[in-house]
Structure 1
């Protein structure tokens, strides 16, 4: 009996250590890779030794206990493994010597000025990976996968492409970096504006994964959304005059303000029309609304500023019925001209349905039926199912709900769709 209890205790301890490693890996992976790439200038090497450090933690932590500073432990271990690998490669012996000289110099001198411009390692590397020699989508995908900690499937979802296609794109980007000998260096201040759009795309994609998780048991990954907001705040302090930075931060704040009302008991999904708006974060909404004005003042609006203005209209309304749907449709018209995306067209169709009725929205959704990027996009099938149900086309609605259920990634979304399907089939 005691032996069994002891065995269970050991298993629980090992399981706890595994969970600690997983939690640290999720939280620290981006920082770890950014620090290693900044140190060694080699993304492949950084990824390899990061994996090695995690494997080492899985071996040692169940025996020695989880260290008080697990992120620092992982970084130290990964650095040592990187140096060991370089030392084993005779062709890189001179490079090791240079790295040692740099390390000695860094220990006795203050950090370079660039650190004060980009105070977060990941932001530095986001700008580094936004190199103009790489196609825009490839560098964004690479940054999201390798530095932001998103899985290949999550990155594929952000781009509305199959996972296999995204995997090939990431491999291609890394190969281009090697062949073109693109240096991993922080760009100068004069290069930052040119690279800013790519960095904003990365930050927004990270936030989107936090706001609406692509898979798993939870509808949201609040910690991921919080981290995207933190990084965007840093960028806003760095570039306060860039209106699209203000727009992106506003969009994040105005959307994230609803986080507590978006789920009910047990993590169940709560749609916008059913949310308790008293649970919305009014301080966050006030900050976001002020930033919307900044983002829309002084010239032609950008996509993030327009999206933030749409979010502000939702947050200012007392309920769905009193929402200013005509103005929201007008803003979607502007947004569609700025970025003619099928997702924007989908959202506009839903807004038109709220303004003019479900038949009008359905007509627009039918126009998008052959859009390949929406074929496996579950919000399209779910929106169509909802509008079909509202006009009484129950069989078609049930079929669309089944399709949305096949595509939904999180359990709360699937459970909501099951309930709506059951209502339709009654």
Structure 2
């Protein structure tokens, strides 16, 4: 019995969080992730773990030695999140160096050249010019991090960063470069457009609030319903006592983001944060998220096996009518349950169980009816944590890979990431409860 999943990325030891630096090498997806290998027994030392996932079929991820360690003057307190980009000759990783000095947080943006991916997993050479951006821009605090890069539609390169203004509100800022080394501050994204219909916190709003926006992703996708190319902005707003992850769809002109579809959650489950997206296929995106949340590290995996948190399966995202749908990159995963729902059909209910006979225990429950889906996670004392989402009739996929559970309903209209910890790491299995 073990909590260790087969197909989801989990760390060999210690703490995993944000996925970083995703890039494709043929059908291999190179994934880096925030890694504290000595957690919780050693001081925090956030670097980058490295793993490769085969996109052609589900299998065990291939682990390599950690790629980055916090050992330079500008990153002594952590190699924080970032992305990857290829200029045609080299693959570059960009990350935020975290330095705490005299009570101040000094963020810097740095790059690393990937050399010879080979059987060793590559060699990682920091640019001698680091830090390329040595501190935060005026008007912002030391919470200035998580560079994600794409080619700018007008030429050159674009970097987006999550930021906190001096008034402690969240923002996304943009830098531009012609050569990936010299960067010029462009400014902050400004929002305009229609009113949103989705609820964030207590009020419906186009753009969420929050005291910090982490892990922004900004990329262009093709809307399959209209044929229009639209811009998708993913952000992780932080509020006192909670952390969210959602997206907006619109048209970016310079620094003005005209909102077409207002902010809505990207995943409706119990633990999903800090996803990374890259362009994929014809106008699609490939996404991996952290199946965890800040401050939620007290799980049975840590006490029993010395590691905590997983990443989601790689998901393919499609855009239709300015709304994202998502599904695992693999058409099927061993052990998954699939079914279809139709308009007017009675609710379909599945329970996720551990143990057999009189000792069987229900650990989670999925219910899909018409335009609504819900996932309930049962705690050790029977307490219930319920998550609900709008959906639509269509196919549903229920995946339980040891402690990593993912649910997709309505042909990918709703997704739920749900860590589930069976007693003593017992194997989980689905059982249909509805007639």
Same fold per superposition (TM over 0.5)? no
Q: Name which one, 1 or 2, has greater alpha-carbon Rg.
A: 1
Greater strand content: 2
User: TM-score normalized by structure 2?
Assistant: 0.26
Greater helix content: 1
User: TM-score normalized by structure 1?
Assistant: 0.26
